[in-house]
Chains A and B, each alone.
Chain A
Amino acid sequence: MATPVKVHGPPMSTAVSRVLACLLEKNVDFQLISVNMAKGEHKKPEFLKIQPFGQVPAFEDGGVSLFESRAICRYICEKYADKGNKGLYGTNPLAKASIEQWLEAEGQSFSPPSSVLVFQLAFAPRMKIKQDQVVIKQNEEKLSRVLDIYDKRLGETRFLAGDEFTLADLSHLPNTQYLVGVSGRGELFTSRKNVGRWWNEISSRDSWKKVVDMQKKSA
């Protein structure tokens, strides 16, 4: 029987891998459907029907069609609340409020500079695009300031939203994996004691190891 949950996009996409990590944490079966981005499949009318901005991932679960990785993750956590990691999106309103706060911090403060760095350091070379050193330096400075705040926070709590691993931490995995693993800018994270400890913990989770494996296999 075909599973109703479908994720459209390549595992090496940071946004796609965010959704994959969430599905694996929640033990939800899914089908990964490839999108040939090199051939511009994501800009074609067929794909634009399920993602009007022409980006990956697109997501389907039976009759529900969604996009935007963080919205997809929230949906997965709500719909499959009783499966897998039950505390991923909080089990009470106060826990949820804290998770939402740090999920927004990821989206608004961490993601902008780290996404630029991931593109410049990990993807541009592969795509034979020239790196912009000024842009790299500016965004390293921005990210450093954000990570200073994270280091203080992670000295007070084990994970960002509290003492349990949540969606807020998970959301950071994709970009950080590239920066620590591939780009040689790992010391931004590892030189900060609490951030380094946090990164080791969250990246060692089975669900994330599976995602990294999927990325390697599809490369």
Chain B
Amino acid sequence: MEFRNYCAKINEMTARVRMAENGAQLVSRLEGRQSLRDIEPNIFPVDGGPGQGDVVEFHGLEGTGKTETLYHVITRCIMPVQSGGLEVAVVFVDTDYHFDMLRLVSVLEGRLAEGSKEGDGSENESEERVRSCLCRLSVVHCNSSVQLLLTLQYLENTFSSQPSLGLLIIDSISSFYWVDRFNGGESTVCQEANLRKCAELLDRLRRNYGIVIFATTHAIMRNYASDPGVSEVPGSSSSSSSSSRRWKAKKLISSCTWTALDIFPRILDL
């Protein structure tokens, strides 16, 4: 009788430990993810790319190439090593239904064709290669900041159980700004509440699991100090009048951002 109670207690305790983390998950958490330091030589300096747990923000007006850059980054990650890729799994969170799979596949096909030196020729083979690359990519669509928060919570399990997942992309994290701002009423705390929770969660994810996070933000506030015109550089945020207009969600992301990139049309030459 006593022995049975004792066994039941041990079972309960080990069951609780099992709920937390199993051995493989522990190892994957401690070992770390694959390094993404040479992910994009055109943007980051040699060996100066994002390390484990870095957050990179792409900010710019429309048409400056933020999503296009992400397609190139994704391609580099999901391609096999013999074609010049990193074989890292990627999760893409699409908040404004902007993700164009057909465009991504055309970029991927171009890169694979470059990578394979002998003319493979056969169409089936190239289709197979594209498909095997795409298996490393998962796409999630979110249509509200609440859903974004809950999805990130759900993805925490995915990150802990898949050590090959090294990159989380959120495009774009600013799409719920106006809706949240209206729903929050007068108080800025209420307006920012969901995005603040998302930022805290992302901070936890990058610290605990060492994943790299790329996020894009749209430039939605016009900087009246210097009108952008057609292709000029948007005014810097150093002027006092415009800095107060910079929206608060960007400040939240900046609090855990180590590198921020402003994409200008002239510099990007991919």
Q: Do A and B bind each other?
A: no
